[in-house]
Each structure stands twice: as C-alpha cells, then as structure tokens.
Amino acid sequence: MVTTQYNVLMGPRCEQSGFDSRTIEDVKMDVLAGNIVYEAIMGEIVPVYDYDEWVPEGVALEAAHDATLSRGTAELRKLWGDDARILTYSSSGQKAKGDKLGPFVSLRFIVRGVGKFSSGADMKLGGYVPEMFDQSVYKAAGKRQLMRLWGASKYGESRPMLMLLGGVFRKLQDVNNEQPIIATHFLEEGLAQNV
C-alpha cells in the first residue's frame, strides 16, 4: 500500500526554510500540536483563492465577512460552474500588523472537481484568478508557495483557519475530537497540492 506524502513547512513561521514530506495523519497531528502551519507547494495545484482585507471603519466585521463570502462564491461559480465543489475557509478576526490592530476579513476557497494546473502561476496566466482575489500568491513551478492549513494560526496570532462544514465554520481540533477520520479526510481535501 502506497501512502501519499505531502510537502509541509516544518515549523510555525513562514520564514523557516526547511520542508518535509509527511502523511496526512502526521500533518494533522503536527497542525494540532502547533508544529506545522503551512503546506509547501512546489508544482501542481488545484484552483485556490485567497482574499484578505482590512475592514473599513464603521463596517461590522461579520457583515464584511458575509458579503465577501457571498461575492467570492459567486465569482467562483461564474468561473467554474455549479458542479464544482468549493471548500471555504476563514481566518477573519482581529489582525495585528505592526502597531495596527483591527478587523480583518480573510477567506480561502479551494475548488475541486475542475482539474489542476502545473503551478499557481499557470493558473493566473490562464485567466483563472478573478480580480477580487489576492494576485500575489501564485508561484511558478519549482518555487515554494505556502498555504496555511485548516486549524493553523499564523505565528503570534490567534486566528486559526476554520473550515465551512454544514453551514458553520469549524475548528480542526473540534472536528477531530468528534470524528478523527472525518477531520483527516477534510484536511486532505483542503490541501491545494492534493491533485
């Protein structure tokens, strides 16, 4: 039996340079322990989209989050059609950057059932990245592209990546406590390098 190995950055900071190949069960346990925060994609990728934006003063974070979620989903349905499976993640919350602290909408979408690309850069070059999404995350084949994992929080922050399951954003830890096999399955489904 062959067990699929996935590339992950070994450590909690994106500045760290070493990555390793791990089974999905090992990835899950390391995310839960805070040892792994990012997958490290070096080539093939399924369609993945990020949206990050400070919420303007006077706008409620929840309202901004919900509006962006609706808009992002609509954009991806327009691009990929109704048969595409869209996995949705959120790490919206209070973000600190330097001396700035404020409400921040952060969403990720992974699209399954529509194929793969040889690299993130090919996705962008092919016109598969709508304007509303972050345009800077798409790297050429062979260049390391880091994507934060479900359940992981950026170093020094308390904004774990949540996954939309059954209409509710859920923590990896909570799903794993209830149904470890389901948590493992959805963690693997959420890897952009799982093509």
The ranges of the chain with pLDDT < 70 are: 1-2, 98
Q: How distant, in Å, are the alpha carbons of 43, 46, 68, 87 from that of 113?
A: 18, 9, 23, 11
Residue 17 is predicted with a pLDDT of 74
Q: CB–CB of 140/121 below 8 Å?
A: yes
CA distance 130 to 47: 11
**Residue 84 falls inside a structural domain:** yes
pLDDT in tens, 83-132: 999 999 999 988 877 677 789 999 999 999 999 999 999 999 999 999 99
Residue 2 is predicted with a pLDDT of 60
**Residue 28 falls inside a structural domain:** yes
pTM above 0.85, yes or no: yes
**Residue 194 falls inside a structural domain:** no
**Residue 1 falls inside a structural domain:** no
Which residues, other chains included, contact 103 with Cβ-Cβ below 8 Å and sequence gap of 6+? 54, 55, 61, 64, 92, 93, 94, 95
**Residue 195 falls inside a structural domain:** no
Token pair recorded at residue 98: 């330097």
Helix (H) or strand (E) run with residue 22 in it: strand 19-22
Residue with tokens 């330097």: 98
Instruction: Tell me the residue range of the domain where 92 lies.
Output: 6-189
- For the chain, the domain total comes to 1
Beta bridge partners of 110: 48, 87
Residue 47 is predicted with a pLDDT of 98
Q: CB–CB of 7/195 below 8 Å?
A: no
**Residue 16 falls inside a structural domain:** yes
Residue 187 is predicted with a pLDDT of 97
